[in-house]
C-alpha cells in the first residue's frame, strides 16, 4: 500500500512540475498591464486560470497523499527488546576502584 502512495505522489509531482513549466513566465503582475496588453486576448486568460487551478490541484493532491500515506506506514515496534538490558548487570552494587 505504501508503494501505491509512493507511485501516486511521484506521478502527481511530475504532473505538477509539467504544469508549472508550461505556464508563461511573462504574464501576470504589473508588468503585463503596463504596456496596455492584458491576458484577455484570444483566450490566454482562461489558459492561465486552468494552469493555476491545475497547480493548486496537484499541490493539494500531493499534500493529501502525503498525509494519508502516514496511516499506512508501519510505526515503531511496540515490544521492547530487553535482551541487551538483561546482559548488563545493573543490580550489582557499584564498588569504587582504588
Q: Report pLDDT digits (tens) over 7-55.
A: 999 999 999 999 888 887 665 544 444 444 555 555 556 777 888 899 9
The model's pTM: 0.56
Position 58 in a domain: yes
Position 93 in a domain: no
Q: How many domains does the chain have?
A: 1
Distance CA 88, CA 84 (A): 7
Cα 77 versus chain centre, distance: 26
Task: Please name which of 13, 24, 83 lies closest in space to residue 51, comparing C-alpha atoms.
Answer: 24
Position 34 in a domain: no
pLDDT above 90 coverage of the chain, percent: 27
Question: 59 lies in which domain range?
Answer: 1-25+43-72
Amino acid at each position: 500500500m505504501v508503494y501505491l502512495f509512493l507511485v501516486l505522489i511521484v506521478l502527481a509531482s511530475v504532473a505538477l512540475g509539467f504544469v508549472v513549466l508550461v505556464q508563461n513566465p511573462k504574464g501576470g503582475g504589473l508588468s503585463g498591464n503596463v504596456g496596455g496588453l492584458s491576458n484577455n486576448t484570444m483566450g490566454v486568460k482562461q489558459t492561465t486560470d486552468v494552469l493555476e487551478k491545475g497547480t493548486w490541484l496537484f499541490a493539494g493532491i500531493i499534500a493529501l497523499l502525503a498525509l494519508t500515506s502516514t496511516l499506512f506506514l508501519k510505526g515503531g515496534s511496540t515490544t521492547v527488546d530487553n535482551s541487551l538490558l538483561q546482559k548488563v548487570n545493573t543490580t550489582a552494587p557499584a564498588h569504587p576502584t582504588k
